Chains A and B, each alone.
Chain A
Amino acid sequence: MTTIQEQLQDIADGVVTSVAAVAPDAEANVSVTRTRHGLTRFANSFVHQHVGEDTRTVHLTLAVDGRTATASTTDTDREALRALVERTLTSAQVQPVDPTWPSATPAVEVTGSGNLDPATADAAPGDRARLVADFVDEGPGLRAAGFVDTATTEVAFASTAGQRISGASTRATLDGIHQTGSSAGSAHATSFRLGALDAAAAGARAADIARRSERAVDIDPGAYPVVLMPEAVATLLTFLAVYGFNGKAHREGASFAELGQQQFDEAVTITADPTDPRAIGLPFDAEGSPRTRYHLVEDGVTANLAHDRRTAAAVGATTTGDALPGGEGFGAIPGTVVLRPGTSTPEQMIASVERGLLVTQFHYCRVLDPKSQVVTGLTRNGTFLIEDGEVTGAVGNLRFTQSFLAALAAGQVTAIGGDDRFASGEFGDGMVIAPSLQLASWNFTGGAKG
Chain B
Amino acid sequence: MSERALDDTGFDLAGAAVEAAIAAGATYADARLVRRRSERIAARNGELETVATDEEIGIGVRALVGSSWGFAATSELTDAAAGRAGAEATATAKASALVPGPRIELADVEVRQDTYRTPHREDPLAVPLAEKVELVTGVTRTMLEVDGVTVTTAQLMFWDTEKWFVSSQGHRIAQHLVESGCGMDATAVGAHETQRRSYPQSFGHVETGGYEVIRRFDLPAHALPIAEEAVQLLTAADCPTGQMDLILESSQLALQIHESVGHAIELDRILGWEAAFAGTSFLELDQLGSLRYGSELMNITADATIPGALATFGYDDEGTPAQQVDIVREGTWVGVLSGRDSAHLAGLPPGGMVRADGPSRLPMVRMTNVGLLPGEGSLEDIVADTRHGVLMATNRSWSIDDRRLNFQFGCEVGWEIVDGRRARMVKNPTYTGITPTFWGSLDRLAGEDEWMPWGVPNCGKGQPMQVGHTGHPAAPGLFKDVRIGVKG
Taking beta carbons and an 8 Å cutoff, which residues of A are in contact with B?
37-57, 68-77, 79-80, 84, 87-88, 90-92, 94-96, 98-100, 124-126, 129-130, 132-133, 136, 143, 145-147, 149, 175-177, 179, 184, 186, 252-254, 326, 328-329, 363-372, 374-378, 380, 397, 399, 401-403, 443, 445-450
Nearest B residue to A127 by beta-carbon distance? B95
Contacts of A100 in B (CB 8 A): 47, 49
The docked-state distance in angstroms from the alpha carbon of A224 to that of B410 is 24
Contacts of B102 in A (CB 8 A): 46
Q: Mark B433-470, 1 if CB is under 8 A from A, else 0.
A: 11001000000000000000000000000011000000
Instruction: For residue A347, give the distance in angstroms from its CB to the closest CB of chain B.
Output: 27
Contacts of B385 in A (CB 8 A): none
Assuming A132-B99, A368-B397, is B72 touching A53 (CB within 8 A)? yes
Contacts of B399 in A (CB 8 A): 364-366, 376-378, 399
Nearest B residue to A256 by beta-carbon distance? B192
Assuming A147-B463, A364-B402, is B360 touching A55 (CB within 8 A)? yes
The docked-state distance in angstroms from the alpha carbon of A74 to that of B361 is 14
Contact between A179 and B275, CB atoms less than 8 A apart? yes
The docked-state distance in angstroms from the alpha carbon of A375 to that of B486 is 12
The docked-state distance in angstroms from the alpha carbon of A254 to that of B150 is 10
Contact between A54 and B276, CB atoms less than 8 A apart? no
Assuming A366-B399, A367-B397, A448-B405, is B101 touching A50 (CB within 8 A)? no
Nearest B residue to A52 by beta-carbon distance? B72
Instruction: For residue B388, give the distance in angstroms from its CB to the closest CB of chain A.
Output: 23
> Which 3 pairs show the lowest CB-CB distances between chains A and B?
A46-B101, A125-B95, A47-B96
Select A366's contact among B73, B189, B277, B397, beta carbons within 8 Å.
B397
Q: Mark B182-204, 1 if CB is under 8 A from A, else 0.
A: 00000101001110000000000
Contact between A126 and B463, CB atoms less than 8 A apart? no
Contacts of A68 in B (CB 8 A): 48, 51
The docked-state distance in angstroms from the alpha carbon of A6 to that of B52 is 27
Instruction: For residue B409, give the distance in angstroms from its CB to the closest CB of chain A.
Output: 9
Contact between A94 and B96, CB atoms less than 8 A apart? no
The docked-state distance in angstroms from the alpha carbon of A44 to that of B463 is 16
Contacts of A98 in B (CB 8 A): 47-49
Select B68's contact among A48, A74, A77, A253, beta carbons within 8 Å.
A48
Contact between B275 and A43, CB atoms less than 8 A apart? yes
The docked-state distance in angstroms from the alpha carbon of A41 to that of B66 is 15
Contact between A43 and B432, CB atoms less than 8 A apart? no
Known pairs A50-B70, A51-B72; list 6 more (Cβ under 8 Å): A54-B72, A72-B56, A136-B99, A403-B488, A445-B487, A446-B432
Q: Is B67 an interface residue (CB 8 A)?
A: yes
Instruction: For residue A414, give the distance in angstroms from its CB to the closest CB of chain B.
Output: 20
Instruction: For residue A411, give the distance in angstroms from its CB to the closest CB of chain B.
Output: 18
The docked-state distance in angstroms from the alpha carbon of A399 to that of B408 is 9
Contacts of B58 in A (CB 8 A): 55, 74
Instruction: For residue A396, give the distance in angstroms from its CB to the closest CB of chain B.
Output: 10
Q: Count of B residues near A, CB < 8 Å?
A: 86
Contact between A329 and B50, CB atoms less than 8 A apart? yes
Contact between A126 and B272, CB atoms less than 8 A apart? no
Assuming A40-B96, A99-B47, is B487 touching A74 (CB within 8 A)? no
Q: Mark B348-368, 1 if CB is under 8 A from A, else 0.
A: 000000000000111000000
Instruction: For residue A233, give the distance in angstroms from its CB to the closest CB of chain B.
Output: 19
Instruction: For residue A429, give the distance in angstroms from its CB to the closest CB of chain B.
Output: 10
Contacts of B361 in A (CB 8 A): 51
Contacts of B49 in A (CB 8 A): 98, 100, 328-329
**Main SS of chain B's interface residues?**
mixed
Nearest A residue to B189 by beta-carbon distance? A253
Contact between B194 and A254, CB atoms less than 8 A apart? yes
The docked-state distance in angstroms from the alpha carbon of A136 to that of B192 is 48
Select B47's contact among A96, A132, A252, A378, beta carbons within 8 Å.
A96
Contact between A399 and B276, CB atoms less than 8 A apart? no
Contact between B463 and A74, CB atoms less than 8 A apart? no
Contacts of A38 in B (CB 8 A): 92
Contact between A94 and B129, CB atoms less than 8 A apart? yes
Nearest B residue to A428 by beta-carbon distance? B465
Assuming A47-B68, A378-B401, A446-B432, is B189 touching A254 (CB within 8 A)? yes
Contact between B434 and A129, CB atoms less than 8 A apart? no
Contacts of A329 in B (CB 8 A): 42, 44, 49-50, 153
Select A363's contact among B73, B96, B402, beta carbons within 8 Å.
B402
Assuming A98-B48, A126-B95, is B437 touching A450 (CB within 8 A)? yes
Contact between B98 and A132, CB atoms less than 8 A apart? yes
Nearest B residue to A130 by beta-carbon distance? B98
Interface centre among A44, A48, A130 (most CB of B within 10 A): A48
The docked-state distance in angstroms from the alpha carbon of A49 to that of B66 is 11
Contact between B276 and A369, CB atoms less than 8 A apart? no
Contact between B101 and A48, CB atoms less than 8 A apart? yes
Contacts of B194 in A (CB 8 A): 253-254, 369-371
Select B1's contact among A75, A397, A403, beta carbons within 8 Å.
A75
Contacts of A175 in B (CB 8 A): 276-277
Contacts of A79 in B (CB 8 A): 1-2
Interface centre among B48, B133, B137, B410 (most CB of A within 10 A): B48
Contacts of B274 in A (CB 8 A): 43
Assuming A69-B53, A96-B137, is B75 touching A56 (CB within 8 A)? yes
Contacts of A129 in B (CB 8 A): 95-96, 98-99
Contact between B486 and A74, CB atoms less than 8 A apart? no
Instruction: For residue B86, give the distance in angstroms from its CB to the closest CB of chain A.
Output: 12
Select B275's contact among A49, A177, A401, beta carbons within 8 Å.
A177
Nearest B residue to A327 by beta-carbon distance? B50
Assuming A80-B1, A366-B397, is B92 touching A50 (CB within 8 A)? yes
Q: Is B116 an interface residue (CB 8 A)?
A: no
Contacts of A145 in B (CB 8 A): 272-273, 275-276
Contact between B130 and A94, CB atoms less than 8 A apart? yes
Q: Is B74 an interface residue (CB 8 A)?
A: yes
Instruction: For residue B404, give the distance in angstroms from its CB to the closest CB of chain A.
Output: 10
Nearest B residue to A176 by beta-carbon distance? B276
The docked-state distance in angstroms from the alpha carbon of A190 to that of B92 is 22
The docked-state distance in angstroms from the alpha carbon of A95 to that of B488 is 44
Q: Mark B40-70, 1 if CB is under 8 A from A, else 0.
A: 0010100111111111111000000001111
Select A42's contact among B55, B73, B99, B401, beta carbons within 8 Å.
B99
Nearest B residue to A68 by beta-carbon distance? B51
Assuming A368-B397, A380-B402, is B48 touching A74 (CB within 8 A)? no
Interface centre among A44, A124, A146 (most CB of B within 10 A): A44
Nearest B residue to A143 by beta-carbon distance? B272
Please name 7 pairs of A and B residues whose Cβ atoms are closer than 8 Å in the assembled complex, sorted by A: A50-B96, A53-B464, A72-B56, A74-B55, A88-B53, A376-B410, A378-B402
Contacts of B71 in A (CB 8 A): 49-52
Q: Is B406 an interface residue (CB 8 A)?
A: yes
Contact between B48 and A364, CB atoms less than 8 A apart? no
Instruction: For residue A401, give the distance in angstroms from its CB to the closest CB of chain B.
Output: 4
Interface centre among B42, B71, B93, B408 (most CB of A within 10 A): B408
Contact between A51 and B276, CB atoms less than 8 A apart? no
Contact between B95 and A124, CB atoms less than 8 A apart? yes
Q: Is B396 an interface residue (CB 8 A)?
A: yes
The docked-state distance in angstroms from the alpha carbon of A149 to that of B403 is 25
Q: Is B88 an interface residue (CB 8 A)?
A: yes
Contacts of A450 in B (CB 8 A): 406, 433-434, 437
Nearest B residue to A49 by beta-carbon distance? B69
Contact between B55 and A75, CB atoms less than 8 A apart? yes
Instruction: For residue B5, give the distance in angstroms from its CB to the closest CB of chain A.
Output: 10
Contact between A49 and B398, CB atoms less than 8 A apart? no
Contact between B51 and A69, CB atoms less than 8 A apart? yes
Contacts of B101 in A (CB 8 A): 44-48
Contact between B401 and A146, CB atoms less than 8 A apart? no
Contact between A445 and B486, CB atoms less than 8 A apart? yes
Contact between A70 and B52, CB atoms less than 8 A apart? yes
The docked-state distance in angstroms from the alpha carbon of A223 to that of B424 is 32
Nearest B residue to A373 by beta-carbon distance? B488
Instruction: For residue B325, give the distance in angstroms from its CB to the closest CB of chain A.
Output: 24
Contacts of B275 in A (CB 8 A): 43, 143, 145, 177, 179, 184
